[in-house]
Amino acid sequence: MLALICLALGKPSNISQTPVIRGTYEAEVKIFGSNDTQNKAKMLIDDLVKRYGQNYPGDRTEKGKKFTMGKLLDLPPIERNFYKESQKIASMPQEEVEKLRKENNNIICDDLKEGEKRHVPNPVCKFEDAFQYYPDVMANIRKVGFENPTPIQSQAWPIILQGIDLIGIAQTGTGKTLAYLMPGFIHLDSQPIPRDQRGGPGMLVLAPTRELALQVEAECSKYTYKGIKSICIYGGGDRKGQINMVTKGVDIVIATPGRLNDLQMNNFINLKSITYLVLDEADRMLDMGFEPQIMKILLDVRPDRQTVMTSATWPDGVRRLAKSYLKDPMIVYVGTLDLAAVNTIEQKVVIIPEEEKRAFTRYFIDTLKPKDKVIIFVGKKLTADDLSSDFSLQGIPVQSLHGNREQCDREQALDDFKKGKVRILIATDLASRGLDVQDITHVFNFDFPRNIEEYVHRVGRTGRAGRTGEAVTLVTRNDWRIASELICILERANQAVPEELISMAERFKQFQMKKEIKKDLGRPRGKSWKGF
């Protein structure tokens, strides 16, 4: 039970690790932390006790735990291993495996299970190596005409198909969606209880934004597998329609955490049947503050499920999430967020006064060629509206994408841009990650982003799938604190660094030094240092 509570809290350190046991089923749990954390923990514990309280038997053997989980939910244990390694892949010499990983975007993998490390399965070379026993999957792949697995797919499939939890560090555009969808289809169709008798969906994909959720849904609906049905649930979409679809019965739910939480709290959806969970773009979900919603959702999902998590980056928050919600995972890194590796993008920086930015942007637009496609990134929703109405008045067709627009307008904007009906999209950072539009030739940073990571994501919207791209970034005096980080990025990617940017970085360094000295001088001496 304590393990379940820790799992739900995601912060095991807030609970005493040595509960006082009274009798067979009772335990006293000490909770540490701020009042807020304590209240939250208490709420979660009460909820868990109410749900699972008296039913937790407590057989600590591996067999016992498996039985317990199934019993806990009155369901048979989950089937997870669907991988039969082909002779060719199994007999590949280790040097060849290493060479293959290196040549495939430098795949790096590791087993994160504590204790003795397991063998990370060899990557597959061809689709048949993973799916030769699943002719319906092969038929789908033939239908869409893909030639070879992408690097993330070649390494992720043998891991996921064996039922092992996976963390995939990969960006959109790497084929990560199919990396979890295909094994998901097989998993869904191979469980002991037939799909129509599970009382709810079997697979849940959580995605940070409506756009990404819709994109995953679009990818999912390209394939037909044994009549599996999917639905996309997102805020701003037709709530009633979504509820109708869910209650009629679906196998895959692709959702943003907010709306799913809403349907879950109101008992419109049963998540207890979920045996395959995907946390897509986990870093982005944390950035957007979705952790509490994810925690609540996962309280209902089967604790013995298989979990796949993707993330473009691997910061502390994502590590913590992985530790709390994945069980003995393996990790696969492909490619890198390092723009130095994306040498097909030319990055230009223009130092400019704030009041000249609009005129320069107009000049930039006038230099575009008819086939060019550009995303203009701005910092505020208001600026996006303002710029787009300015350009529309000047007879320049543009679309805009930001969080204050109605969902249907957002979808229309993206569709117009994807199909090339407009060639200029003015967007906030909503569009900096995840959007898969292959033919963007230019990224134009009208406002510098909040941080350098976002800069990397924005610039990565162009130069996709081996194409060349150009990123133009306007930098004003107000952006001086990012100058030195920007210089590092430019230097690593062998790009020109403007002199003015260098002197801006130096001025900021001087300014900070002066501030530190001032702070030091102002610090009271003597007794206040005591006990420091």
Residue 304 neighbours by CB under 8 Å, 6+ apart: 66, 69, 70, 77, 78
- Please report whether residue 172 would count as binding ligand AMP according to CB under 6 A: yes
- Please report whether residue 162 would count as binding ligand AMP according to CB under 6 A: no
Among 4, 8, 75, 178, binds ligand AMP (CB under 6 A): 178
Q: Which of residues 206-225 bind ligand AMP (CB under 6 A)?
A: 219
Report the candidate in 152, 144, 170, 173 with the shortest Cα–Cα distance to residue 437: 173
Q: How far apart are CA 149 and CA 163, in angstroms?
A: 19
Residue 400 neighbours by CB under 8 Å, 6+ apart: 384, 385, 387, 388, 413, 425, 426, 427
Among 14, 122, 177, 441, binds ligand AMP (CB under 6 A): 177
Contacts 24+ apart (CB under 8 A), 113-119: 113/328, 113/329, 113/330, 114/328, 118/330
What is the number of the residue whose Cβ is closest to ligand AMP?
A: 177
Residues of 144-156 as b/e, b for ≥16 C-beta within 10 angstroms?
eeeeebbbbbbbb
Among 146, 268, 314, 508, binds ligand AMP (CB under 6 A): 146
- Please report whether residue 175 would count as binding ligand AMP according to CB under 6 A: yes
Q: How far apart are CA 455 and CA 445, in angstroms?
A: 9
Stretch that binds ligand AMP, among 172-180, 260-268, 411-419, 479-487 (CB under 6 A): 172-180
Among 86, 105, 122, 174, binds ligand AMP (CB under 6 A): 174
Stretch that binds ligand AMP, among 174-182, 255-263, 292-300, 417-425 (CB under 6 A): 174-182
Least separation in angstroms between residue 130's CB and ligand AMP is: 11
Among 436, 439, 485, 500, binds ligand AMP (CB under 6 A): 436
Burial class (CB in 10 A: 0-12, 13-18, 19+), 245: middle
Q: How far apart are CA 4 and CA 45, in angstroms?
A: 9
* Closest CB to ligand AMP among residues 121, 175: 175
- Please report whether residue 105 would count as binding ligand AMP according to CB under 6 A: no
For 527, the token pair is 């007794």
* Closest CB to ligand AMP among residues 213, 486: 213
Stretch that binds ligand AMP, among 38-46, 143-151, 382-390, 455-463 (CB under 6 A): 143-151
- Please report whether residue 150 would count as binding ligand AMP according to CB under 6 A: yes
Q: How far apart are CA 12 and CA 301, in angstroms?
A: 19
Q: How far apart are CA 179 and CA 469, in angstroms?
A: 26
Q: Which of residues 276-305 bind ligand AMP (CB under 6 A)?
A: none
- Please report whether residue 457 would count as binding ligand AMP according to CB under 6 A: no
Rounded to a whole number, what is the largest CA-CA distance in the chain?
79
Least separation in angstroms between residue 280's CB and ligand AMP is: 9
Q: Which residues bind ligand AMP (CB under 6 A)?
A: 146, 149-150, 153, 172-178, 219, 436
